[in-house]
Amino acid sequence: MAHDSVPDTQIAPVCPWWDAQKGGCYAPERLISYKLSVQQLVQKFTDSLLRDWGCRLVTAWSLDPVGGILVLTAVSGADKALLAAVHLDCAKHLSGVTVDERVVKYFKDVREPYPDGRQFGDRDLIKALGLRSMISVPVLNTANPNQVLSVINLFPQSGSPLNQELTPFYGRQLEAVGDHLAIKLETCLMDASVAFANRLRIDLIKLGAGKRYPERQCKVVARLVEKAVECNAVGVFLETPDEKGIELLADVGGVYRQDRPRNAASGPAYAVWKSNREVLSLDLRQEKDLDVEVICSNTQEHLTGAHIALRDVEGKPRGVISCINRSSDSSHQQIRPFTFEDVAIVSAIGQAFAQQMEILLADRQRLESLTKLAHELRVPVVAFRAVLERLQTECARSKYVFPYNHFEEMTIYTDVMRRLLTELDFIRLDPARIPMEFKATPFLAVIVQPARRFVEPLLRKKGLAVGQIRHEGLDGFPRLYLDQALMTQTVFNLLDNAIKYYHGDRRAFHMMITGTVLSDCYEISFQDNGPGVPKGLEEQIFEFGVRGHAAHGDDVAGEGIGLWFAREVVRRHGGSLELRRNANPTEFVMCLPRSLQYRPPDLATAGEEES
Amino acid sequence: MDSKRVLLVDDEIVPGAIPGEGNYMWYYAQALRDAGFEVVEVTGPDAALETLDKPHEPFCVITLDIMMPPGKTFAETDTQQGLRTGLLLLDKITVLCPQVPVLVLTNVNNAKTVGELRGRPNVKAVLFKPDYTPYMLVEEVRKVLEPVG
């Protein structure tokens, strides 16, 4: 092949859409792993080509994702001393293949410079190694043949079959070599991308935590995808409840709301959901031979996109993430085509999201059931309390006296039911959404005394007496702004816990509630001589659903909610509840701010520690 | 205020039903009657507005449930599955009889709704049903009617 048939030597930039300011198509975090992966892989590849194809020298040039130019990434066949003296630079040296042709090429004599003055290699290197002909093999992106990932230049030895004009047979063989490296590179990049996506998944979980509604979750995912693959519009579609179609739940970039109906019964996203596969949309003119479905028609040639199915753990499609790039000019030269690497990243995010959605939906169903149950339970509880009160009044009017105090027993149990409903609300709702009513309250008379009465049935059941719960210092407290029902429940829970887990000598049981006025708070200490809290569980016992080790072995009812509830309530009062001592005696300490003497807590700041 | 008429609005009311017929709101109404009040019981927004729209003897207090079916009145309005029916009805009550104090008696335990209710000038208290037995409601009605100062 004559030199004048060698195309223009202008190599950089290979891809005009690769905007250096944006750091290329690869997000900055991905650059380092990208470069390392490429160098290691390509070096191994050139080593094997040198051996297998009888070459004197093999060089490889690979795309620098930032500069958008080809840079030398591997050399095989030259010793280190020689290479140390050589600096191959794409500005001075030809890589061999140009962007426009992207086919295997044969160059007869590399000693002659190219007409623009550039050399095929370093002159000293060519001389030292006695190089003559060169075969240049492009390594093309399998999804986007316009993108040159690498160029391999083989300098055959004198006896090599490559040392002549290429025959169709060798041409195809060498194309296969290029494809082989392309697949290896893409696999390697995909692995790196999935690792990158896995890091994003952690972000996703962090970002998504606490967001109860799919719309918000979808928005989080859309933003994450937008950042990860640097596209300019993302839509997240989820399956409709009847599983007959998909609907757009969130988008960024604003493409969808304007141009597409919310419920998609057709179109690319719908097709992807229906067929359960990924689709790359390539905005290329030479797309006929691609083994991917092309979804953009010619009339939409200013868009490129990737549509990725969201699958549940069984692999069933539950939605689609659509990424779109739009050209900023009519020539659409600035559009970045999507690659399988992008698909791998979005798929990994999608997979994490789909799994999270399943958990979320299950959680929603659980909450809906709890809400329904809580509402249904309230009616009989309210009715029962109303009837009981009436019965008590009518008996009193007729002067009928029962031999035992049935009414008190029934009142206590209905009260237990009422308080359990309050706890149920705390479980099903965010505690911050529980309404609170603060009233100036005498702590001893309105909080502690009722709580002591409420634990009476349990005390009697265990052969204990209410007199074994004593108090001191509380009558010195002023009235504090408290939610009476919730604070009584809190004190009840602390007493109930101490009594429930006590298994010692009945006469020895004692519990002391001590009130102390400190400079910054009202401190209420609850001491008991029960089995205590195992070391290491001091904080865990306040977590939702956590019970002490001893509790699991005991035949004691409980769900590990009482202390969690108590701490939440105290925090909502602007105070704190801590375990001060594990055992002998066990001591819980509640601190309520002094300001409660004058005003209710500021709910905007109360409890912010946990939020 | 001289009136001793209380309007009880609650979808749990079964008109004409007596104890044993699934009408627990009877106990609330009866406790008020025992305390000397005249009680008018209505089951939802339609009946409440019908009562208040036509000429009537004034009410001293209105007790209002929040979560109720929308009825014809709010059939075209988004009541969020009945969760806001009481709030919407409260708007109309406020227009029809702005001077009458309202006691909300509800099972709805939601900070947003309760906060919204507490912000209304004619709402004197939000009573959570499980916390308020019939005689406790009577006490709240009396408190509302106590002369200020």
The domain that holds A475 is classified in CATH as 3.30.565.10
Residue B76 has pLDDT above 80, yes or no: yes
**Residue B149 domain-assigned (yes or no):** no
DSSP string, A34-66: HHHHHHHHHHHHHHHHHHHTTEEEEEEEEE-TT
Where is average pLDDT lowest: A90-104, A202-216, A238-252, B50-64? Answer: A202-216
**Residue B47 domain-assigned (yes or no):** yes
Distance, in angstroms, between B47 CA and closest chain A CA?
22
Domain that holds residue A149: 3-192
Please tell me the total count of domains within chain B: 1
Q: Which of A370, A379, A390 to mutate to test the interface with B (most CBs of B within 10 A)?
A: A390
**Residue A608 domain-assigned (yes or no):** no
Band the pLDDT of B49: cuts 50, 70, 90: very high
| Cα A486 to the center of its chain, rounded Å | 35
Q: What is the mean pLDDT of residues A50-65?
A: 80
Of A389, A421, A422, Cβ closest to residue B134: A389
Q: What is the pLDDT of residue B103?
A: 96
**Residue A99 domain-assigned (yes or no):** yes
Fill in the DSSP letter of residue A332: -
Helix (H, G, I), strand (E, B) or coil at A471: strand
Q: Pick A62 or A382 by higher pLDDT.
A: A382
Q: What is the mean pLDDT of residues A153-167?
A: 82
Do A187 and A214 reside in the same domain of the chain?
no
Where is average pLDDT lowest: A59-68, A212-221, A543-552? Answer: A543-552
Do A215 and A155 reside in the same domain of the chain?
no
Q: What is the pLDDT of residue A553?
A: 47
Last residue of a domain, one of A354, A385, A418: A354
* CATH code of the domain covering residue B78: 3.40.50.2300
Band the pLDDT of A68: cuts 50, 70, 90: low
Integer Cα distance of A276 and A281 in angstroms: 16
Do A162 and A263 reside in the same domain of the chain?
no
Residues in B closer than 8 angstroms to A436, CB to CB, are 111
ipTM of the complex: 0.86
Average confidence score pLDDT of chain B: 90
Integer Cα distance of A418 and A19 in angstroms: 64
Where is average pLDDT lowest: A67-71, A73-77, B35-39? Answer: A67-71
Closest-CA residue in chain A for B29?
A386
Residue A204 has pLDDT above 80, yes or no: no
Q: What is the mean pLDDT of residues A124-148?
A: 80
**Residue A397 domain-assigned (yes or no):** no
DSSP string, A587-598: EEEEEEEGGGGT
Q: What is the mean pLDDT of residues A14-27?
A: 32
Q: What is the mean pLDDT of residues B2-7?
A: 88
Please tell me the total count of domains within chain A: 3
Do A446 and A347 reside in the same domain of the chain?
no
For A171-189, b where at least 16 C-beta lie within 10 A, e where not — what string? Answer: bebbeebbeebbeebbebb
What the block records as the tokens of A420 is 């359990």
Integer Cα distance of A304 and A281 in angstroms: 5
Q: Are A234 and A222 in contact (CB under 8 A)?
A: yes
Q: What is the mean pLDDT of residues A36-64?
A: 81
Domain that holds residue B90: 5-144
Band the pLDDT of A336: cuts 50, 70, 90: low
Do A121 and A186 reside in the same domain of the chain?
yes
Where is average pLDDT lowest: A235-244, A341-350, A476-485, B28-37? Answer: A341-350
Of B28, B110, B115, Cβ closest to residue A386: B28
**Residue A363 domain-assigned (yes or no):** no
Residue A550 has pLDDT above 80, yes or no: no
* CATH code of the domain covering residue A92: 3.30.450.40
Q: Which of B10, B13, B25, B27 to mutate to test the interface with A (most CBs of A within 10 A)?
A: B27
Judged by CB atoms closer than 8 Å, whether chains meet at B130 and A378 is answered as yes
Q: What is the pLDDT of residue B93?
A: 95
Q: What is the pLDDT of residue B108?
A: 83
Of B28, B109, B135, Cβ closest to residue A435: B109
Do A236 and A152 reside in the same domain of the chain?
no
Using a CB–CB cutoff of 8 Å, tell me whether B18 touches chain A. no
Q: What is the pLDDT of residue A545?
A: 63
Do A265 and A350 reside in the same domain of the chain?
yes
**Residue A568 domain-assigned (yes or no):** yes
**What residues 179-208 of chain A have any CB closer than 8 A to a CB of chain B?**
none
What the block records as the tokens of A209 is 């935590």
Q: What is the pLDDT of residue A479?
A: 95
Q: What is the mean pLDDT of residues A423-451?
A: 83
**Residue B83 domain-assigned (yes or no):** yes
Q: What is the pLDDT of residue A549?
A: 45
Of B27, B114, B126, Cβ closest to residue A390: B27
Give Cα separations from A142 to A22, A146, A214 (angstroms): 24, 9, 36
Q: What is the pLDDT of residue B39?
A: 95
Q: How many CB atoms lie within 10 A of CB A166?
A: 16
Q: What is the pLDDT of residue A260?
A: 54
**Residue A564 domain-assigned (yes or no):** yes
Q: What is the mean pLDDT of residues A463-491?
A: 92
Do A153 and A225 reside in the same domain of the chain?
no
Among A222-236, A298-312, A356-370, top mean pLDDT goes to A222-236
Q: What is the pLDDT of residue A335?
A: 57
Integer Cα distance of A227 and A220 in angstroms: 11
Q: Are A290 and A212 in contact (CB under 8 A)?
A: no
Integer Cα distance of A363 and A430 in angstroms: 13
Integer Cα distance of A237 and A257 in angstroms: 12
**Residue B87 domain-assigned (yes or no):** yes
Do A492 and A581 reside in the same domain of the chain?
yes
Q: How many residues does chain A have?
A: 611
Band the pLDDT of B63: cuts 50, 70, 90: very high
Q: Are B84 and B46 in contact (CB under 8 A)?
A: no
Q: What is the tens place of the pLDDT at every residue in A272-308?
A: 788 777 666 554 333 343 333 444 444 444 566 778 8
Do A239 and A133 reside in the same domain of the chain?
no
Do A36 and A164 reside in the same domain of the chain?
yes
Last residue of a domain, one of A158, A192, A226: A192
Q: What is the mean pLDDT of residues B46-61?
A: 92
Judged by CB atoms closer than 8 Å, whether chains meet at B24 and A386 is answered as yes
**Residue A475 domain-assigned (yes or no):** yes
Please name the residue ranges forming H helices in A140-167.
none
Using a CB–CB cutoff of 8 Å, tell me whether B126 touches chain A. yes
Of A375, A390, A437, Cβ closest to residue B107: A375
**Residue A359 domain-assigned (yes or no):** no
Q: What is the pLDDT of residue A258?
A: 52
Q: What is the tens place of the pLDDT at every residue in A440-458?
A: 999 999 999 989 988 888 8
Q: Are A128 and A111 in contact (CB under 8 A)?
A: no
Integer Cα distance of A557 and A528 in angstroms: 19
Using a CB–CB cutoff of 8 Å, tell me whether A427 touches chain B. no
What the block records as the tokens of A458 is 């349990």
Judged by CB atoms closer than 8 Å, whether chains meet at B27 and A389 is answered as yes
Residue A207 has pLDDT above 70, yes or no: no
Q: What is the pLDDT of residue A290?
A: 35
Sort A301 into a burial class: Cβ within 10 Å, 0-12 / 13-18 / 19+: middle
Name the residue with tokens 């659409």.
A332
Closest-CA residue in chain B for A380?
B24
Q: What is the pLDDT of residue A423?
A: 78
Where is average pLDDT lowest: A149-163, A419-433, B26-40? Answer: A419-433
Q: How many CB atoms lie within 10 A of CB A461?
A: 10
**What residues 297-326 of chain A have any CB closer than 8 A to a CB of chain B?**
none
Q: Pick A447 or A251 by higher pLDDT.
A: A447
Q: Pick A430 or B8 by higher pLDDT.
A: B8
Residues in A closer than 8 angstroms to B126, CB to CB, are 435, 437
Do A129 and A247 reside in the same domain of the chain?
no
- pTM attached to this predicted model: 0.54
Band the pLDDT of A224: cuts 50, 70, 90: confident
Residue A482 has pLDDT above 90, yes or no: yes
